[in-house]
């Protein structure tokens, strides 16, 4: 089997996952303007919710996934209402919100570990018998193919919502100037609540898809979040399209970077790219 | 005190006070704004004009005193997101737009459905576009509708802010009755000034309370039905512009500086 088509395919798959993470993160960051570390833990919440419904309760696969996504969205919304919203009303600084978000991350991870143990779990039933497709000389599993398709569908849907709906305009307006949005009658509190719901649900879905592809563990969120954040920074933080662009760029650099070396170098390469961007192009590729 | 609804002020302030580090920016100010009138607020720089508007529109909290909206709603404090629901809106001295959005989106966002569920799925309808076209044509920015707000000239930015106010009146939350304009004419060309004065007179004739902060005395004289003169956060004089602007203490405090 040729290596280059496989590397390209791997990059696209990883890119789709990173893009989803980046999309959710950027949505929240661009609107609420703080670094939501807790968002990372929500990917694990999604994975474990599906684990519970699908594996423990034995519900239908699609019902489980739907419930999982909804639950992550609702938890994201509740966390906003209970933690971030009161702090933002008090005009707390970004640092206070960051620490609060760190608390949310730690608490959610701990709760998952208490409920499900810290053991690595996988969501797929029988991974050995999974269908493998050949595309352009590279191998891709059914799960990965589904991940790709879902990833692209989400990107397109979010893109369309932002471009064409009044909700999308309101979200952009809040990101631009929240105070003025209030003055002109945009219901900022409601809209930010929805942004947390939608952003969290996207992150949760990414976690679920990873759970089917490789597996889940309570602490999976932080490294995923960091990849999403790197994608956002190199693409252009706060810019929804920038995040997606950065995600694929990052995935390609990572996967081609380890062409001749061991896979453990992936993270080192990702952070090296981050540092280079922070030094030489801190606004990312697409400026907001 | 009030005889009938007609003469009841639409917005009153009672002993509104705001101080910064011991300096009173607004000191026990009690003034009234009436519907269907343009009320001018003048005073030297730092006399508390903008601070007054900022407190009344929830941008900064009030230290003490209260405001009464439509004779009914007594408010010790108002929050920025409630301002529109009390029927108030404003423009800013240092124009504040949604810079990263096209001109037309700056208007469309104001026309957003309050029900999020609807807004989530609803594309801006023909009605919204029609309204947006109407207000943008009124201020002469329809041709610029696809430009980003940040790329407009200073005067155009001011006009877009006026158009946004108009959009709120057309389609915003509840009824917008009270409109604060913080130096809307500063930096405008004569033909732009004509547009804004036209809009203001129209709003007045529709029964809105228009509150104008302005330094240009010719425009104050031309537009105001009633003026308040502030000095060091206190009320120095009030009345018809012709009378007030002729007063010696007013001239000394402000015009003769």
pLDDT of residue B5: 47
pLDDT of residue B19: 87
Q: Which of A183, A191, A242 to mutate to test the interface with B (most CBs of B within 10 A)?
A: A183
Which residues make Cβ contacts (< 8 Å) with residue B145, sequence separation at least 6?
A: B102, B103, B104, B132, B136
Specify the fold of B1-87+178-257: Rossmann fold (3.40.50)
Separation CA B128–CA B107 (nearest Å) = 9
pLDDT of residue A49: 97
Residue A137 or residue A273, greater confidence: A273
Separation CA B221–CA B224 (nearest Å) = 6
Q: What is the mean pLDDT of residues A62-91?
A: 96
pLDDT of residue A36: 93
Q: Is pLDDT above 90 for A274?
A: yes
pTM: 0.88
B47-105 confidence digits (pLDDT tens): 889 999 999 998 888 899 999 988 888 888 888 888 888 889 999 999 999 998 999 99
pLDDT along chain B (257 residues), means of 10: 60 90 88 94 89 91 90 83 88 93 91 61 71 92 94 95 90 77 93 95 94 92 94 90 87 68
Q: Is pLDDT above 70 for A217?
A: yes
Q: How far is A266 from chain B (nearest CA, A)?
A: 35
Which residues in chain A have Cβ-Cβ distances shorter than 8 Å to B173? 185
Out of B114, B121, B168, the one facing A184 most closely (by C-beta) is B168
Is B114 near chain A, with CB under 8 Å?
yes
Verify whether the Cβ–Cβ distance A183 to B173 is below 8 Å.
no
Tokens 């006399």, residue located: B47
pLDDT of residue A256: 92
pLDDT of residue A129: 67
Verify whether the Cβ–Cβ distance A165 to B85 is below 8 Å.
no
Verify whether the Cβ–Cβ distance A184 to B114 is below 8 Å.
no
Where does residue B228 fall: left (phi above 0), alpha (psi -120 to 50 degrees), or beta otherwise? beta
Note whether ipTM > 0.95 here: no
Which residues in chain B have Cβ-Cβ distances shorter than 8 Å to A169? 101, 105, 108-109, 112, 124
Which residues make Cβ contacts (< 8 Å) with residue A118, sequence separation at least 6?
A: A217, A218, A219
Residue B25 or residue A239, greater confidence: B25
Verify whether the Cβ–Cβ distance B109 to A185 is below 8 Å.
no
Out of B59, B96, B168, the one facing A185 most closely (by C-beta) is B168
Verify whether the Cβ–Cβ distance B123 to A164 is below 8 Å.
yes
A37-70 confidence digits (pLDDT tens): 999 999 999 999 999 999 999 999 999 999 999 9
A73: number of CA atoms within 13 Å, CB side? 16
What share of chain A has pLDDT > 90, as a percent?
70
Q: Is pLDDT above 90 for A138?
A: no
Q: How far is A172 from chain B (nearest CA, A)?
A: 8
Q: Which residues, numbered 158 to 197 in chain B, qualify as contacts with chain A under a Cβ-Cβ cut-off of 8 Å?
A: 164, 168, 172-173
pLDDT of residue B113: 58
Out of A170, A188, A189, the one facing B119 most closely (by C-beta) is A170
Which residues in chain B have Cβ-Cβ distances shorter than 8 Å to A288? 100
Q: What is the mean pLDDT of residues A9-33?
A: 93
* Nearest chain A alpha carbon to B90: A183
Contact of A193 with A53, CB cutoff 8 Å: no
Q: What is the mean pLDDT of residues A247-259?
A: 93
CA distances (Å), A155 to each of A135, A241, B11, in order?
Answer: 22, 9, 48
Specify the domain boundaries for CATH 3.40.50.300 within chain B. Answer: 1-87+178-257
pLDDT of residue A154: 94
pLDDT of residue B45: 84
pLDDT of residue A72: 98
What is the distance, to the nearest Å, from the Cα of residue A57 to the centroid of all Cα atoms in its chain? Answer: 26
Verify whether the Cβ–Cβ distance B116 to A191 is below 8 Å.
yes
Separation CA A199–CA B8 (nearest Å) = 48
Q: Is pLDDT above 90 for A250?
A: yes
Which residues in chain A have Cβ-Cβ distances shorter than 8 Å to B101? 169, 172-173, 176
Q: Is pLDDT above 50 for A170?
A: yes
pLDDT of residue A98: 95
| Range scoring the smallest mean pLDDT among A81-95, A213-227, A245-259, B243-257 | B243-257
Q: How far is B108 from chain A (nearest CA, A)?
A: 7
């Amino acid at each position: 089997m040729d290596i280059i088509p496989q590397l390209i395919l791997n990059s696209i798959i990883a890119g789709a996952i990173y893009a989803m993470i980046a999309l959710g993160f950027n949505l929240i960051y661009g609107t609420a303007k703080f670094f939501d570390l807790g968002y990372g833990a929500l990917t694990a919440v999604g994975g474990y919710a599906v684990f519970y419904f699908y594996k423990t309760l034995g519900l239908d696969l699609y019902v489980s996934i739907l419930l999982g996504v909804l639950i992550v969205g609702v938890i994201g919304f509740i966390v906003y209402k209970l933690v971030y919203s009161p702090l933002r009303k008090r005009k707390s600084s970004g640092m206070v919100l960051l620490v609060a978000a760190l608390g949310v991350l730690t608490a959610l991870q701990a709760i998952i570990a208490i409920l499900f143990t810290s053991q690595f779990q996988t969501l797929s039933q029988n991974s050995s018998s999974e269908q493998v497709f050949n595309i352009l000389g590279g191998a891709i599993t059914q799960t990965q193919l589904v991940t790709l398709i879902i990833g692209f569908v989400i990107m397109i849907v979010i893109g369309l919502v932002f471009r064409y709906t009044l909700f999308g305009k309101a979200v952009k307006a809040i990101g631009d100037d929240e105070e003025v949005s209030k003055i002109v009658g945009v219901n900022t509190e409601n809209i930010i609540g929805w942004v947390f719901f939608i952003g969290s649900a996207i992150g949760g879905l990414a976690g679920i898809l990873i759970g089917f592809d490789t597996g889940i563990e309570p602490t999976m969120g932080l490294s995923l979040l960091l990849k999403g954040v790197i994608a956002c920074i190199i693409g252009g933080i706060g810019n929804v399209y920038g995040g997606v662009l950065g995600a694929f760029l990052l995935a390609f650099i990572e996967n081609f970077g380890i062409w001749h070396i061991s896979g453990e170098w992936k993270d080192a390469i990702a952070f090296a790219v981050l540092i280079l961007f922070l030094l030489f192009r801190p606004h990312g590729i697409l400026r907001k | 005190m009030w005889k009938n609804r007609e003469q009841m002020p639409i917005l009153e302030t009672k002993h509104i006070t705001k101080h910064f580090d011991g300096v009173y920016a607004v000191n026990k100010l009690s003034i009234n704004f009436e519907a269907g009138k343009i009320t001018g607020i003048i005073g030297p720089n730092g006399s508390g004009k903008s601070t007054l508007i900022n407190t009344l529109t929830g941008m900064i909290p009030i230290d003490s005193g209260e405001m009464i909206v439509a004779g009914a709603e007594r408010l010790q404090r108002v929050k920025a997101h409630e301002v529109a629901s009390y029927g108030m809106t404003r423009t800013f001295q240092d124009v504040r737009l949604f810079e990263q959005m096209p001109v037309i989106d700056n208007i469309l966002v104001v026309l957003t459905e309050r029900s999020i569920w609807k807004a989530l799925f609803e594309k801006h309808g023909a009605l919204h576009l029609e309204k947006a076209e109407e207000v943008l044509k009124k201020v002469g920015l329809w041709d610029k509708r696809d430009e980003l707000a940040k790329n407009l000239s200073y005067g155009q930015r001011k006009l877009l802010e006026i158009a946004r106010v108009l959009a709120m009146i057309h389609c915003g939350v509840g009824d917008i009755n009270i409109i604060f304009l913080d130096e809307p004419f500063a930096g405008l060309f004569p033909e732009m000034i004509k547009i804004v004065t036209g809009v203001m007179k129209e709003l007045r004739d529709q029964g809105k309370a228009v509150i104008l902060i302005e330094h240009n005395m010719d425009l104050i004289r031309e537009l105001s039905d009633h003026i308040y003169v502030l000095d060091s956060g206190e009320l120095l004089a009030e009345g018809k512009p012709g009378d007030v602007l002729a007063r010696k203490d007013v001239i000394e405090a402000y015009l003769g500086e």
